Amino acid sequence: MREFLDLGAMLLFAAGAVAALRLLHRLTAVRGEPLLAAPFLSGNTPDEHALSRFHARWYALTLLFLAFDVEMLFMYPWAVVVAEVGTAAVVEMFVFLGLLMCGVVYAWREGALRWA
């Protein structure tokens, strides 16, 4: 009988939580009223929509940036332990940098770094 009381208490708690969340949503929901201010872009009105698409060449450049960002993410902890680990850590980092350089050469060959 105790198990059923525990189950009933959990069901009541779950139903109360759902009801409280629905009430909170009703109290804080965004109303369908018109905006009183326009988007702000350095004092000018924007020329295009905020969800507009970018040219495909920017995606390759973004991936290249992320590769170098991840490189720094790995190099900071490596710099802390390189003295303790020794030559193996230096070899591993040069292998990692070589793989990243292959990515840069590929992006360069595909024209991701051309601006025109």
Hunting for tokens 């601006």 — which residue is that?
115
- Integer Cα distance of 43 and 49 in angstroms: 16
- Residue 116 has a pLDDT of 64
Burial classification of residue 82, based on how many CB atoms lie within 10 Å of its CB (0-12 exposed, 13-18 middle, 19 or more buried)? middle
Q: Which two tokens stand for residue 84?
A: 């303790």
- Look at residue 48 and tell me if it is in a domain: no
- Look at residue 45 and tell me if it is in a domain: no
Confidence of residue 38 (pLDDT cuts 50, 70, 90): low
Burial classification of residue 96, based on how many CB atoms lie within 10 Å of its CB (0-12 exposed, 13-18 middle, 19 or more buried)? middle
The larger pLDDT score, comparing residue 70 to residue 12, is at: 12
Answer whether 113's CB lies under 8 Å from 107's CB. Answer: yes
Domain that holds residue 7: 1-28+56-110
Burial classification of residue 88, based on how many CB atoms lie within 10 Å of its CB (0-12 exposed, 13-18 middle, 19 or more buried)? exposed
pTM (whole model) above 0.85: no
> Mean of the per-residue pLDDT values for the chain?
84
- Residue 41 has a pLDDT of 66
Answer whether 75's CB lies under 8 Å from 93's CB. Answer: yes
Looking at the structure of the chain, the number of domains it has is 1
- Look at residue 115 and tell me if it is in a domain: no
- Integer Cα distance of 21 and 13 in angstroms: 12
How do residues 39-86 score in pLDDT, each as one tens digit?
666 767 777 776 777 777 777 778 888 888 888 888 888 888 888 988
- Integer Cα distance of 104 and 102 in angstroms: 5
Is the confidence at residue 35, as pLDDT, over 80? no
